[in-house]
Amino acid sequence: MTEQSAPMDFFPYDEPRKGQEEMMNHISDKVRSGHNIVCEAPNGFGKTCATLCGVLPWVLENSGKVLYCARTHRQLDRVMEELDAISKRQCVTGVSFRGRRHMCLNPFVLENAGFFASISEVCGQLKATGKCAYYERTKKAVDSANVLDIMPSGVLTAPDIVGIAKKRAFCPYELAKKLAKVVDVVAFSYLYVFDPFVMEVFMPELEIPLGKIVLIQDEAHNIPSTALDSASDSLPVGTVRQAIREATTYHDTISKDFCRELAKVILENSTEMKEDDEKMVDPEVIFEIAIMEAGMKPEDEVISHMKSVGASIRRGLLKAGKFPRSTIHRVADFMLKWVEYSKREDYTFMIASARTSRESRRVSLDLVALDPTVITNPILRMVRSSVAISGTLSPLDAFSEMIGLGPETAKLTFHNPFAKRNRLAMIVEGVGTSYKTRSDALFSRMVDHCVAVAHATPGNTGIFTTSYAVGGALLKAGLEKRLRKKLYSEKQGMKTSDNDTLIEEFKARGDMGGAVLLGVQGGRNSEGGDFPGSTMESVIVVGVPYARPTLRTDALIQYFDKRFNRRGRDYAYVLPSMTRAVQAAGRPVRRLEDRGAIILLDQRFATSYLRRFMPKWLDEVIQVMPDSPDMVAQQVEAFFSD
């Protein structure tokens, strides 16, 4: 493109919603000047479309590329849906990625990939040795120059690519990577950008200077926690014990002796610990005791020896046609970081004890990151411009600082385009999920409210609790038995495909008398999912989703206190909790004509302290109601019959 295009040239719909054109123009201006943008706009505003229209003019004029990262598969598919609509007006192309596990056809990899050797590691070694027929076939048949010729459309989702690859026995992931080099927009999960290992491997594949990339971070309120998780690591004692057995098999005395003493010192430090307990430790002391008890010296370079042995074991296994797993290598990787980071203030070091799903005890060394900018800073400094968008980013200054954006960052807020009469919001007094108030009687009363609201709602109702345990307490108190509508329950660890099927069935009942969805705040269905019209007309937010107080939470609060002028509790503890609650509350109102009832089932939401963290679109319509299911139901029924 030779002339500068305007964002509205890309807008695919008849008329923009109130504020959309302003948002597009602001983003376009900042991208052209090379600045970063933090943009807060309410649920249902049309942020995805507006953001794409804002960045695409510069990208197409300068042969650049959009990297669009989001949290869930549904959000990534939504990006491609909007881009497909835009492509009817302008010639734009794009693909969405999913993880290798969702885009791999090789049965050897799918059957064997696990914790100790990731799919990416195995794929790398299979490709290096020419042992993946899918990859070899793709490499020979397709190159970046002609890859678009075999595509039925210029805009493809990850499932589209898998379908095409299956017909030709290609590797879907490699096919997607080849497409990513030539298309304008690439959509993928946060990990492609905010996991150092994945970024280091993936970015060079794009074959484009980072200065020509515009990075869009959708649902950006998740970025700080995603970055912290990515920078943290955990080494279970079970893994150390497996490394001992591996060292015995391969007659590696050095690794065996060190791992034996490492396991011993971890367990000795955990003897007094209970379930779900944590204990701060001195990282250097843990390492030095293991070294000393193994009869070694620090200068013996135990870690480098273990990495070398582990790499050799993995090569040998792959050559023999076996899965290239080495726990010796895994222990060495972890201990290298454990020792290197021991003096850093932006990490804390602990031993954790937890009960697993199999009712066994899991004891681990945990390396816990405290500063998101460890992960976010490198990429944000290198790209042309980044656009962080969400419905819940306030306070914008705090968010910008937390992810390492400078003072020159543009901070934009757009207000709700929906009429107030389309929103009903109530806080119910006398109930709550604080640990001190929980009881069978309380959960029974909460069920009274949930049933009353669901029966007063013509279409579907969503119930989002603070945890799966609270959801279980509602079921135990008779939620499903008392409902006259079908209940769909989100399960912990549910497969994406199973969850998608559940949501499809739930949505289909919206115009057939309605159903009820039971999920969790912060889960895949309470964030990013679209439930327009009757697919979710009422939402019940059960409790304030405060994280359980732990040593790592305390460490994060103390670190944030230093970084953010004594606002550590606000930023590290309260704000993430309120963000999860508000995200859940915003599910019903997605389109201009939608009407939604929001019931906050916890009296703490009414405090002035928490009201400070509510966005204007919610706070301006809130009313506080007494603990009366009948009165709440009357309000809901009147709202929908008006």
| DSSP letters spanning 306-370 | HHHHHHHHHHHHHHTTS----HHHHHHHHHHHHHHTTT-TTEEEEEEEEE-TTS-EEEEEEEEE-
The pLDDT of 371-380, averaged and rounded, is: 91
pLDDT bin (cut points 50, 70, 90) of residue 608 is very high
Q: Give the residue, 157 or 196, on which the prediction is more confident.
A: 157
Lowest-confidence range among 73-77, 234-238, 413-417? 413-417
Element (H, E) at 427: strand 423-428
For residues 437-465, average pLDDT: 95
Q: Which residue has the tokens 């969790």?
A: 520
- The answer to whether 213 touches 297, Cβ cutoff 8 Å, is no
Residue 309: predicted pLDDT: 96
Q: How many residues does the chain have?
A: 642
Burial (0-12, 13-18, 19+ Cβ within 10 Å), 346: middle
Q: Is the separation of the CB atoms in 379 and 194 below 8 Å?
A: yes
C-beta neighbour count of 632 within 10 angstroms: 23
Contact by Cβ (8 Å): 67, 194: no
Residue 566 is which amino acid?
A: R
* Residue-level pLDDT at 196: 79
Answer yes or no: is pLDDT of 297 > 90: no
Cβ–Cβ < 8 Å for 143, 178: yes
Q: pTM of the full predicted structure?
A: 0.84
Which range (35-44, 248-257, 353-362) has the least confidence?
353-362
How far apart, in Å, do the first and last CA atoms of the chain sit?
51
pLDDT given for residue 118 in this prediction:
64
For 502-541, give one letter per residue: b (16+ CB within 10 A) or e. bbeebbebbeeebbbbbbbbbbbbbbbbebbbbbbbbbbb
Q: Provide DSSP, 227-293.
A: HHHHH-EEEEHHHHHHHHHHHHHTT-HHHHHHHHHHHHHHHHTTTT--TTEEEE--HHHHHHHHHHH
* Model confidence at 130: pLDDT above 90: no
Mean pLDDT across the stretch 307-311? 95
69, 405 contact by CB (below 8 A): no
Percent of the chain surpassing pLDDT 70: 96
* Lowest mean pLDDT segment, chosen from 15-29, 141-155, 576-590: 141-155
Of the ranges 59-68, 526-535, 541-550, 601-610, which one carries the lowest mean pLDDT score?
526-535
Least confident of 6-10, 31-35, 188-192: 188-192
pLDDT band with cut points at 50, 70 and 90 for residue 637: very high
pLDDT for the residue numbered 532: 85
Average pLDDT over the chain, rounded to an integer: 90
- Per-residue model confidence (pLDDT) at position 103: 87
Residue 112's pLDDT is 66
Task: Report the pLDDT value the prediction gives residue 1, as an integer from 0 to 100.
Answer: 44
Confidence of residue 115 (pLDDT cuts 50, 70, 90): very low
Per-residue pLDDT of 237-249, as tens digits, reads 999 999 999 999 9
Per-residue pLDDT band at 204 (split at 50, 70, 90): confident
Model confidence at 331: pLDDT above 80: yes
